[in-house]
Amino acid sequence: MADEESKVVPAAAEALVQAGIVSQWLAENGFDHESLAPDANGVEIIKVAADFLLPTATALYAYGFNCLQFQSGIDLGPGQDLVSVYHLIKISDNADRPAEVRVKVFLPRENPTVPSLYWIWKTADWQERESYDMYGIIYEGHPNLKRILMPEDWVGWPLRKDYISPDFYELQDAY
């Protein structure tokens, strides 16, 4: 029995995620977040609540993350959360490998609303519109949040894993 208990403790210790440099800086400055395991390339991943995204993103910009490399959406599966992902980098002179961090915001499927980061990084404009168009994530404060890939009258969010394709579009023979 004692051997079984000793096996459980190391497994639990392995499950703990070591906070990265950016996570430590955010914690020291009072920003509420959770540190997630780094990705396969070692990029630090931070989980932030939707209510704290705007102040956290502003702090990261002030910390030097001056470029939003990409923003995208993820669907974790039917009945599960949607995720808005932001990959930030520090662009500076003579940097052969700029610092990177990824911020994830987990959103409820029923009301996936998060503040727009357009006012911090202008590159969020079309990327947030694409996430809105494909996943239905609403970016509050975005200056032009409308469909970008699908027709304006399209019903639903095509990249959601529970999406059912409408029957009113007919495939026609090209000959």
pTM across the whole model: 0.84
Q: Rounded to 5 degrees, what angle do the CA atoms 27, 66, 116 make?
A: 80
Query: Left if phi > 0, otherwise alpha if psi is -120 to 50, otherwise beta: which for 172?
Result: beta
> 44-92: per-residue pLDDT in tens?
999 999 999 999 999 999 999 999 999 999 999 999 999 999 999 999 8
CA 168, CA 166: separation in Å to the nearest integer? 6
Q: Coil, strand, or helix at residue 129? A: helix
Domains, in order of start, for the chain:
21-171 (3.30.460.80)
Write down the mean pLDDT value for the chain: 88
| Spatial contact of 127 and 120, defined as CB atoms under 8 Å apart | no
CA 41, CA 44: separation in Å to the nearest integer? 9
Q: Does residue 106 carry a pLDDT above 80?
A: yes
Residue given tokens 């920003």 in the structure block: 31
Q: Coil, strand, or helix at residue 1? A: coil
> 147-160: per-residue pLDDT in tens?
999 998 888 999 99
Helix (H), strand (E) at residue 75: strand 67-75
